[in-house]
Amino acid sequence: MEYERYISDGILEKYFLGFATPEEKRELEIHLSIFPELQTEMDAVERRIERAAFKDAALPPAHIKSALMQQIAAESVDEQTYSYNIKYNTVTAPSSNYNMSVHIGWKIVLIALLSMIALSVLAAIVFYLAAMQK
């Protein structure tokens, strides 16, 4: 069978390790859709490579986990502060030292409201002029 060549020649291993040529990758992907046995063997090769990688892997020092967790926590606090600053604009009155925070969504609501009023006035004028010409 054609798929047995992939198993015996080590093309599946080359594919997983990233050493397969583009032609081999395309050919393998075509044969995967044709032969379900090849997909089964591909899953087995993936498990073997993964087991071999974890068997010989060196574990990181224990203090690295706590350092990474502290860094992640600090970054998440920075992201929350950053997203807070994006949602609100600070408005300061020119004659006083009073500051007021305004949500950005109000700008959108105000623009939409003014646009609707302008379109309503324009529509009323057009309908009035059309009625006058009849």
Residue 70 lies in a domain: no
Query: Residue written as tokens 């997983």?
Result: 16
Structure confidence at residue 119 (pLDDT): 96
Tokens linked to 53: 């990688």
Q: Return the SS3 of 99.
A: strand
Structure confidence at residue 31 (pLDDT): 87
Tokens linked to 77: 């606090």
* Domain end marker among 55, 75, 95: 55
* Domain end marker among 40, 55, 70: 55
Residue 74 lies in a domain: no
Residue 79 lies in a domain: no
Structure confidence at residue 16 (pLDDT): 83
Residue 133 lies in a domain: yes
Residue 23 lies in a domain: yes
Residue 47 lies in a domain: yes
46 and 91 together in one domain: no
Structure confidence at residue 107 (pLDDT): 82
Residue 114 lies in a domain: yes
Which domain covers residue 114, as residue numbers? 85-134
Structure confidence at residue 91 (pLDDT): 63
CB 115 within 8 A of CB 102: no
Number of structural domains found in the chain: 2
CB 90 within 8 A of CB 101: yes
What span, in angstroms and rounded, lies between the C-alpha atoms of 13 and 47? 11
Report the chain's terminal Cα–Cα distance, integer Å: 85
Rounded mean pLDDT for each run of 10 residues along the chain, 134 residues in total = 74 87 89 87 90 84 87 76 58 66 79 95 94 85
Helix intervals (H) in the chain: 2-9, 11-17, 22-34, 36-55, 63-87, 105-133
70, amino acid identity: Q
Structure confidence at residue 11 (pLDDT): 85
Query: Residue written as tokens 């009323």?
Result: 124
